[in-house]
Each structure stands twice: as structure tokens, then as C-alpha cells.
Structure 1
């Protein structure tokens, strides 16, 4: 590739991706909205079916037979299309990082059918992970149709993922932040602008299907008086600990499933489906993602004993469901667990500190933010997501405090973000034949203040082998990176490298350009 061509490639890319992101947002918004409708119908149908079955022994036996057949079918489906296992978010992250790829149209068909069957049967799984993966598959489909190179394909996949989350929860800004904070981990304009276009477009379309009401449609949330703000760090620490427990238990559950060798692998999927049948008989409120639980918490006064039962049962059922590899996400169920933990904490605060009962709904949403941050470690996404889902924007400070202490607690306990751990497990189990065909790609890095690179010249940096600096963006102006150019904090350095050397390049450049190194 010619040097000048490499350099000027960056300018048209930004504008070309914008109009493509509009198409992805529209297509992704329609696909995810239809997926939401399908899940809603499946959940309502199975709920009525469960209610009509239990009480008649023969119908109960028939119901479990149907669940076993569904489990076997989903087991074979996930074996035929491994990319649809679990939430799909680790698969999207791995694809963006160039670790592996899969057939985008198979992912769409498999995830729609598999997710509808699993969530419709009542497994404790969410729609957000599949929605993100469906949106990403739309982005990859467009990239392949237009024969885009690897760098541009990753931008389009990120746009699709952003559109997927926006349409799943009517949360466009959370979709953008998730794309930046969790998927790309880079607040580059090359990602931000197209992701925003895609997310807003998808959100507009989803609102045509589901209206303008927030997902939870919460009533006005009573503000927490300043004299009670000392409770927020305590809640954050508690939720950070809960997040660590959740992560370790989930990974351990996956490990236990992998040790089941006395039955064929597809038949292992029978276990969560049978568990769903027992859950329907013993505690039907924990079935599905958990929207019903949040509605109960907002509309009814539940006893502490029942809240504890719901929390324990939902936690165990979520582990059984997701650990199996069934198509479905952990996003929504973990928010529900956070809402239960936050409500219990709020009831304790009302009892011991004479807090006004009107503040209880606030603690429900604070619990969601803290649990999400402790598990996913994406605090900005968590705060914005809950603001958009609750429809309330006047509790940003309290949410930020809970998220901060939940993050610090999880970091202190050295608990890895759950999607990072899931991606590592996925990569380690991935056969070499599925590894992505490598080619030259562009990478962006922001120079942090206080890093090794600040104040150094380009020639003083230790550049990885087969790596070329093609651009330095400073104050909106692009500069050719000559050897004598002095690097400043805030510079955005664009690098061309071999796909085979991507991991080494990322590590070496991060060591020089980022402060934590």
C-alpha cells in the first residue's frame, strides 16, 4: 500500500461510514424491534401455557417432554452455529479485535430462533446481548456486501452493535457509550459519530414499534436528601462485592457445565430447560429476563422474606441458564438482581435510618447501576442506560457515587469485567481454523498525560515490528508523523499494522501511550 494512500485513507473513511451507519441503524432497528416483538409474544404464550398446565399431572409430564425436546434442539443448534452461544457480546468484542469471525446470516437466523426458544421457555436470559449481536451481524453483512476492508468493517460492526442496544432498550446514548466504553474502548470520532447516527436511527425505529415510554416507565423518583448520602458509598461497596461474586459464580458454572462428559454435549442443554419447568411450578416470577420482577418492585410492597427468595432464586436460575451456553444475555437479569439488592438495602435504610419510604424506588435503580458497574465495569454506560430506561434524569449524582464505589470495590478485589473473562474463555476454546484471516488494519491510540510518550519524539518511541505511524491528530488537525515530531498529551496516533501483529502492537503502544503503564 502506498504511503500517501494510507494517510489520505483516513479522511474519506469518516464520512463514508456515516451514511453506511444510517443504513445499519435502520436495518438493525427493524430487526431488533421484530426480535423484541417475537420475544414478547413467546414469553406471553409460554406464561399462559405454564399457567394452564400445572395442576394436571399428565399435562406437567407433557410440558417437561416438550422442554426436553426444545433443549435438545437448541443444543444441536448451538453446536452447529457456535457463535450464537451465550449473550453474543464477547463474540462481537472478539470480532472487533480480529480474533475470529462467523457467518453473519447464520448468526441472525440462529440467534433469532435460539433466543426466542430459550427466553420464551422461561430461561433467565436477556434480550440485550442477542440484540447487540444481531445489530453487529447487520453491520458485518453490509461490510461484506460492499467489500469493505477490515478496518472499516470493524467500524460498521460497532455501529450495528450500538444500534442493537439502542433498539433493545430504547436507549440510544447507552448504545453509543457501550460501543465506545466496552467494545472499542476508544473514544475516537471515527467510532463516536457513526455509532451515534446508527443508535439514533435504530431508536427512532424502535419507538415506532413500542412508543415513547421508557422501558420501565417508572413514576417520578424521590430525590435522596443530602444527609443520607453516606448510604451511597455503602451501597456501592456492597454491590461491588455482589458483582465479584456474580462473575466468579458464573465462570465457575460454565466450568461445571464443561465437565459434564457422561452425556453428549447437545443434550446438556436439557438442564436449563428442565430448570425452567421447575421454576415455573415453584417460583414463576423468576422466569424470563425479569421485567415482571421490576414491575412488582415498582407497583407493590413485597415482604423482605419474599425479596430474599426472589434474589436467591433468580441468582441460581440465572447461573443455570447462562452457564449452559443457551442463546441469551446476562444484561437484563443482572439489572434485575441489582434492583432486588437495591430494594433490600433501601428497606434496611428505611428501618434503621428513618429514611422516607418514597425513596425506595430510587434504591431500586441505584442497585441496577451498582450491580451493572460491578459486573461489567462500564460505569458511564450503566448510568446512562438506567437513566434512559427509567426516564428520570434527576438522580445522576447519586447514581455516579454508587457506580464509583462499586467500580473501585470490584477493582480492589481484582475481579475482571465479565465480558473480558467470557471473551478469554471463548478465545481459548476456539479452534485455529476459525481464526480471522489477517490483513493490514488501522489502530488508534490516544496519548495520555503523564505517559512515557508525552514529550518524546516519534523516533524515540519503540515501534513494534511491521508497524507504521500514518497520522497524528492534534487539535483537529492531521499531522504527518515525521521522526522529529514531538508527541503531546491528547494526540491521537493512527497506526497501520499487520493483523498478525495486532495484539503485540496494542500492548507495546499501550505501554508507552497510556498512564497506567
Structure 2
């Protein structure tokens, strides 16, 4: 009987195993499944949307408490109904009160919440695996809302980007996401924050991919779109389906205006980079002057900001009502230029004393003032062809931001979403591309990366203390392969490339000057096209890849190596630009293996 019972028990055990229910989805399955990142993107977008609603409510509440108005810049110079006996002089005290509140908060709980926020997110993605402390979301919300509500002349896009990114990073930690997924979730948070705050879902997507990730891929696009759409739905349910700015209709009356828009783009780039330089010049001055505890700095510096607000109350807060009035032609040229300089000073001072807020909205403000003044000027000079002043204000907004942040796609998309008019696209693209190109000629850095470089951080280099990728290219490069003369025929070049083992070779002209690199693929395609129009010699096929110099960090050169055709790229002398070596995938891997 005992044997029968044992056999029966064994049979029951086997039967139970085969009929056990399918396990419920776990965090691991959500993390690893192909659809997992999309589901997480929706959750991050929802969190960013709710965070945006809370953040805007906090700004409105603190602005009402400290100024007595829903937006004091719409009623500049008015008294505070809470303290009417102070008249307009109450603005001397509100930045001090705000500083006494957010100064200790930031200093005690999250120092990274100080400033305009976007550089910190870019750094977290580039060098810290997307890790952002979860407390940043709470501290940034309160500190930025107090800064803006007490008169700080900054925007709300930087804070909401940092808030949404912190939510994405926190969800990534909870689900134990891989580093790549973590970075993507951070970008989703940024996209959702921009989309919900400005009712600009496309701009949120491109802001995240262009500035935060710095790359475009199908997975990143899909995830950020889901986050942006989800956040936009929540934002529209709370704020309505309206743009955050009411801008005038746009139209081009005369073809000559395109030349005027192009010139405005160049001027806007100079102004945008000037704003970036002035911002950090004022911050340096505040650092040099202040000798007390950091938690008290915003309150004491608030006295200086209060003086600016007393002289120019239009600088109180973000200042969208003033921006809208400028686009409608409501100010004279002299006052527009005063507002432009005043915004630079007020924003720089707000950031310099330790305030928390973004520089995107100030860039739009400065661009609107510049564009309006420019439009009025050309209207007087060319009344028959210049067109409406508001058109130049809109173009100036996008061009100054593109010049300062060097994010042309984001600049085009957000201005298109604000106006909803396709007629803006051609002049906007023209001015923004010229502004971006001019900005690149003027400076290596943007308004965001300059803050990091001043701290000794290069986003294209390895993180401080990282051994991998810190070597200079000159220490790991191989000898330069024998170069091909530019007059080599395609048939001979094909033979030499097949024997080289590199898949690509440098090309020199008759004078010994470096022409570029020719790849085996390019030669094979040209041979297949002969005799119909294919070049007869390799000199006409050679193209120089992005330059890699011997004194360049390996981590930075890897970006060029990965995007280059063939198995390597020539290493150039930093001074003369001549090839001195060859960086291949094998040499890069050997360097990484040696330090791993």
C-alpha cells in the first residue's frame, strides 16, 4: 500500500507540474520584452504630463501669493493688492522672499536643481548612464516655481525637462532597465515635459532626440512619440488645446523678404551667442562677489534682481504677455532694444544668484524683441517690400534660440506648432539654418554645453576617472597604410584595396597633399557603372571623413570611426592636417581591452 501511495503521490506531483498556470508578467519580462520600452514610455509620459500640471499650478500659485497677479508682466508697474501701501516697490522684496525659501531647499536637498537644468540632464545621459536622483523632481518643481513666482526672469522648459527626466530615470531604476533603456526613458521624460508644458508634442520629440540623446533611431523616435503624445493628452485635458502663445498670422508678401530673413538669421546667431556669453559672465561675477553661505546667496542677490524689476517690471517672471505684445507691434524700437538688454540682464542675474529656471523662454523673448526691432527698421527703409513686423518677430524667436542652443530642428518645429501655418516654414528654415551655421562658426559650444565645459566636462569625452577611451588617438593608432595616388585607375585601386585588408585607403594628389579616403565599396560601385559616367581615377571618388587628430581622446574619435565606411580612418597631424597614422576598429578594441 505504501508503494502504491508513493507512486500515486509521484504521479500527482508530475500532473501538478504540467498543469501549473502561466506565471504573471514580471518586472524582468517588462524590461526585456520588445514592447516593454514602449509601455514604460507611456508611463513616463503620463508622469511628465502630471508633473507639468503640478508645476504650472505651483508657478501660478506662488506668483499670485507674491505679486497679487496671475502674471505680473501683463500689468507691469501695478501695485500688489496684498500690500497696496508699497506700490510698485514690492518687487524689491519678492525676489528676496523667494530666495529665502528656495535657497536653503536647493542647498540642502538637491544642488543640481540650481540653474537651468538641461545641461545636467545632458550630462546624465552622456556620462552617468541616465541616472538622476528622484528627489530632483520634487526640489526642482518647488525651487523653479518659487523662482519664477517671486520675479525670476527665467523659463519653465528647463525645469520641466529636468523634472520629467528625473521621473524617467526613477522608473528605469525601479524596473532595473539597462543603461540604454535608462537613457531612453530619460529622453522620454524630457519629451513629455516639453510637450505638456507648451502643447507642442512634435517639439518635445525633437528636443529630446536633438539635445538630450543627440542621436536619431527608430526605437528612440517611437518611444519619445508615445511619451510626448501621452503627456500632451494630459496637458490638453488640463490647459485646453491652445498654444501657450497667441502669435500673429504669418505671411510673406514679397520675395525680397527672404533676403531680409536671411540677414536676420545671421544677426540672431550673434545675439544668441552673445546671450550665452553674457549669462556666464554674470554668473562668474556673482561667484566672485559672493563670500557668504550658498543658501543665503539667492536672497541677498534678490536685492539686485529687485532693482532690475523696479526699473523694468516687464522682466517679472517668464514674460509671455510682453512677448506677445512685441509681436503685435506694441512697442517702439528703442523700448524693444531696452527689453532685449533687460531680459539678458534679468535672466543672467536670476541664474547667477542661484535661481532655478530655463533659458529657452528667455531666448524666445530676446528673439521676439530683436525681430520686432529689426522688422520696424526694415519697414521704414523698405516700406513696399518689408512686410509685417510680426513676421520678423516670429523668425527672430526661432533664430535666436537656434543660435544659442544649436537645435535647428527643434526651433523650426516649435515655431511651426505655435503658429500652425505652413507659410512660416521656408523663411523659418532659411533663417534658422543660417543662425545655426553662424553660431557654429562663432563658438564650439552652445548655451547648454558651455556650462558643462566651464566645469571641465566635455560631453564627447569619457566620464572623469574612466580609463576606457581616455587615451589619445596617437597612442593607439597603427602605421599609415600606403596611400593611393589620386591618378590611380579604378581597376588598379580595386586590386590594391583587396590586398590592403583595410577596406579603405588614403588618397594623395601629385603634390603629396591629402585628398581624402576611398573605400572598396565606392570603387566597386563605380566599376559597375562604367563606362557610363563613372570617374576614371580614384581621386574623383575620394572624400575626407570627419577629421580625427592624434591628440584627440579615443572616446571622441570612436564616434567618427563608427560612422566611417571601411575598417578605419586616417589620423591627422593637429597642426598641418597631414595623415600620420591609421585608426582601425581593431586598434580601438585593443586599447579598450588593455584598460578593461
Q: State the TM-score, normalized to the length of structure 2.
A: 0.69
- Given candidates 387, 402, 407, the residue that maps to 1:373 is 402
SS in 1 for 2:35: helix
Matching of residues 27-66 of structure 1 within 5 Å: 27-48=47-68, 51-53=78-80, 64=92
Q: Cα offset for 1:56?
A: 6.7
Question: 1:18 — aligned with what?
Answer: 38
Question: 2:105 — aligned with what?
Answer: 77
Distance 2:502 2:214 in 1: 26
SS in 1 for 2:423: coil
Distance 2:94 2:346 in 1: 19
8 Å CA contact 2:199–2:243 kept in 1: the answer is: yes
Q: Deviations over 1:16-74 (max 9, x none)?
A: 21111011111111111221232133334434368334997767887745643431332
Question: 1:511 — aligned with what?
Answer: 560
- Given candidates 245, 259, 264, the residue that maps to 1:235 is 264
8 Å CA contact 1:279–1:287 kept in 2: the answer is: no
CA separation of 1:52 and 1:30: change in aligned 2, threshold 3 A = same
Matching of residues 161-176 of structure 1 within 5 Å: 161-176=190-205
CA separation of 1:505 and 1:187: change in aligned 2, threshold 3 A = farther
8 Å CA contact 2:327–2:372 kept in 1: the answer is: no
Distance 1:79 1:109 in 2: 14
Q: Does 1:205 align with 2:246?
A: no
8 Å CA contact 2:165–2:189 kept in 1: the answer is: yes
8 Å CA contact 1:111–1:327 kept in 2: the answer is: yes
Distance 1:412 1:334 in 2: 19
SS in 1 for 2:68: helix
8 Å CA contact 2:95–2:299 kept in 1: the answer is: yes
Distance 1:418 1:63 in 2: 28
Distance 2:68 2:223 in 1: 42
Question: 1:392 — aligned with what?
Answer: 421
More contact order relative to length (CA 8 Å, sep ≥ 6): 1
8 Å CA contact 1:99–1:427 kept in 2: the answer is: no
Report the more deviating stretch, 147-156 or 202-211. 147-156
Distance 1:230 1:59 in 2: 47
Question: 2:180 — aligned with what?
Answer: 151
8 Å CA contact 1:25–1:201 kept in 2: the answer is: yes
CA separation of 1:227 and 1:144: change in aligned 2, threshold 3 A = same
Distance 1:84 1:461 in 2: 49
- Given candidates 299, 313, 335, the residue that maps to 1:306 is 335
Distance 1:112 1:394 in 2: 37
Q: Deviations over 1:164-214 (max 9, x none)?
A: 111111111111111111111111122111011101111111111111111
- Given candidates 96, 100, 114, the residue that maps to 1:68 is 96
8 Å CA contact 1:181–1:381 kept in 2: the answer is: yes
Question: 2:471 — aligned with what?
Answer: none
Q: Cα offset for 1:353?
A: 0.9
Distance 1:215 1:346 in 2: 23
Distance 2:311 2:439 in 1: 33
Q: Cα offset for 1:269?
A: 1.3
Gaps of 5+ in 1: 1-8, 440-454, 463-502
Q: Cα offset for 1:304?
A: 1.6
Q: Cα offset for 1:506?
A: 4.0
Q: Does 1:320 align with 2:340?
A: no
Distance 2:337 2:367 in 1: 12
8 Å CA contact 2:398–2:411 kept in 1: the answer is: yes
Q: Cα offset for 1:414?
A: 2.3
Distance 2:388 2:236 in 1: 29
Distance 1:436 1:211 in 2: 48
8 Å CA contact 1:162–1:198 kept in 2: the answer is: yes
Question: 1:345 — aligned with what?
Answer: 374
Distance 1:514 1:324 in 2: 43
SS in 2 for 1:123: coil
SS in 1 for 2:134: helix
Q: Cα offset for 1:95?
A: 0.9
8 Å CA contact 1:276–1:287 kept in 2: the answer is: no
Distance 1:111 1:150 in 2: 24
Question: 1:498 — aligned with what?
Answer: none
8 Å CA contact 1:243–1:371 kept in 2: the answer is: yes
SS in 2 for 1:97: helix
Distance 1:233 1:113 in 2: 41
Report the more deviating stretch, 54-63 or 183-192. 54-63
Question: 2:154 — aligned with what?
Answer: 125
8 Å CA contact 1:115–1:328 kept in 2: the answer is: yes
Distance 1:435 1:149 in 2: 21
Higher helix share: 1
Q: Cα offset for 1:261?
A: 4.2
